[in-house]
Structure 1
Amino acid sequence: MDRTAYSLVATDLDGTLLRGDDTVSERSLAALARVAGAGARHLVVTGRPAPRVRSLLDRLGCTGLAVCGQGAQVYDAGAHRMLWSVTLDRELAETALGKIEAEVGQVHAAVDQDGVDGLTLIEPGYLMPHPALPAVRVERREELWRTPITKVLLRHSELTDDELAATARAVVGSLATVTMSGPGTVELQPCGITKATGLALAAEHLGLRRRHTIAFGDMPNDIPMFQWAAHGVAMAGAHPELKAVADEVTTTNEDDGVAVVLERVFGTS
């Protein structure tokens, strides 16, 4: 790879840039500093909603744009405002959930509320796949729909994530986009919205182009981002579906896989 080829570096967080303890290594921070020193931009592109990523952006020193909520939000961290956001129609979400339960039995659901201060609401029986992320438990499913939402998160007591996602895709149709973003994280988001749509909007706002973009990820929700970018790098522990479309595979997130590639592309000194 030509080290002058990339002006935009897009990274997923969980399982990619972040280690298992939710931290970013000093080596990765140094590599991102090298990216900035070369005049390139780093964009976080995450499934987490903006309110759940704000402290991480602060730690990374990000004061510009971030793509959040699986592409449903383009968040300006410096101004603490949404540059762009799309909500999931709550009636369609409820209908989609009913269709899924008609096929597989009871699922447990959570939602991410829209907005820079939106909450994650979880119904009885739902277990957060990432215990470090805050959530508010509600008593009844009806309470999940009380304010605008960006996505629905689903869990099933017996089906694997792949099985639940496959069934959801088969029955939901155009009601929503189904994605899988991590262990225990099958999601419904607005139809047609992906990490690629959010990344494309952010890049356009910054005057950057897809052919100058290198992207890093680990799960199937990163596939559209890889298809949009010029070069996609999957982590060693990535889902097989993502590895199948990646241009290369790096080491794990615990072994600084993002930094390994950035050091090669942008240099180490």
Structure 2
Amino acid sequence: MAAPTAYSLIATDLDGTLLRSDDTLSDRSLAALAQATEAGAQHLVVTGRPAPRVRPLFDDLGSRGLAVCGQGAQLYDPGADLLLWSVTLDRELAETALGKIEAEVGQVYAAVDQDGVDGLTLIEPGYLMPHPTLPALRVPSRDDLWCEPISKVLLRHPYLSDDELASAARMAVGSLATVTMSGPGTVELQPCGITKATGLALAAEHLGLTPGETIAFGDMPNDIPMFDWAAHGVAMANAHPELKAVADEVTLSNEEDGIAVVLERLFA
């Protein structure tokens, strides 16, 4: 059982939160998570990355727990390499949403994450991957993005900031999709109503745990719904101001083992 002063569920974002900028996990973070697990807590990854981009990290984590992927669109069991639950973004709606956005802000560049445990990340001409270490397949045209079911669309604009693009996209798409901002150069469209909170709630129910037993860590506005759901939300020092504004606590940056600092205090 977890210590009375701690939590039974630790939900962590990956990029900008648990992972360092080189996509690695520090020894201190791994040790802190191991200490919490030994005390009875469960660690749950909650990320915008699709399931195939999460699977290799679980070898480093030494864990076979669950992962909420695709901004809440997928509940993934890495040990079984199985999606326990997934919801896709209608491809016709996605095309319509892109058209509405471009009518407001001019040309954008798009990519998609395909659904499934072997889904690819496809990028159209002109799109630059914000995470160059993550594999992606460049396709000849936008039409090629829609060849298989997708979990989300990723957008970049040649000169608008992420905040400006996200704001314009929300106004343009309305209820066609949920718009999130999950990192530098990463504005995304996902199925309407799907957020990290919906995925986290589903995972917690699967584990028999509740919001009151959950502490969540994040760094971007897409983590706000997760903070609203959890009992305690911890923003990284490098977090977006919108997330810091709603956080219960701000810790050190991902480069300074901010998650470990909090977990060491709670699970000492």
TM-score category of the 2 structures, normalised to the smaller one: over 0.9
Structure 2 residue runs of 5 or longer lacking an equivalent are none
Aligned twin of 1:19: 20
Deviations 1:13-54 (A, max 9, x none): 000000111111111000000111011100000000000111
> Contact conserved, 1:73 with 1:86, CA < 8 A, in 2?
yes
Deviations 1:74-112 (A, max 9, x none): 000111100000000000000000000000000000000
> Contact conserved, 2:6 with 2:267, CA < 8 A, in 1?
no
- CA drift at 1:62: 2.2
> Contact conserved, 2:17 with 2:236, CA < 8 A, in 1?
yes
In 1, distance between residues paired with 2:58 and 2:88? 23
* Alignment RMSD (CA, Å): 0.8
- CA drift at 1:4: 3.4
Aligned twin of 1:44: 45
In 2, distance between residues paired with 1:70 and 1:62? 21
In 1, distance between residues paired with 2:126 and 2:197? 32
- CA drift at 1:3: 5.0
Deviations 1:170-219 (A, max 9, x none): 11000000000000000000000000000000000010111010000000
Q: Which SS does the other structure have where 1:244 is aligned?
A: helix
Q: TM-score, normalised by structure 2?
A: 0.98
Would you say 1:248 and 2:230 are equivalent positions? Answer: no
In 2, distance between residues paired with 1:79 and 1:61? 14
In 2, distance between residues paired with 1:87 and 1:4? 39
Letter in 2 for 1:215: A
The equivalences for 1:1-269 within 5 A come to 3-267=4-268
Q: Which SS does the other structure have where 1:254 is aligned?
A: helix
In 1, distance between residues paired with 2:94 and 2:252? 37
Number of residue pairs the alignment of both structures matches = 266
In 2, distance between residues paired with 1:121 and 1:13? 21
Letter in 2 for 1:151: K
In 2, distance between residues paired with 1:63 and 1:97? 37
Letter in 1 for 2:62: G
Structure 1 residue runs of 5 or longer lacking an equivalent are none
Deviation above 4 Å: which 4+ runs of structure 1? Answer: none
Deviations 1:113-140 (A, max 9, x none): 0000000000000000000000000001
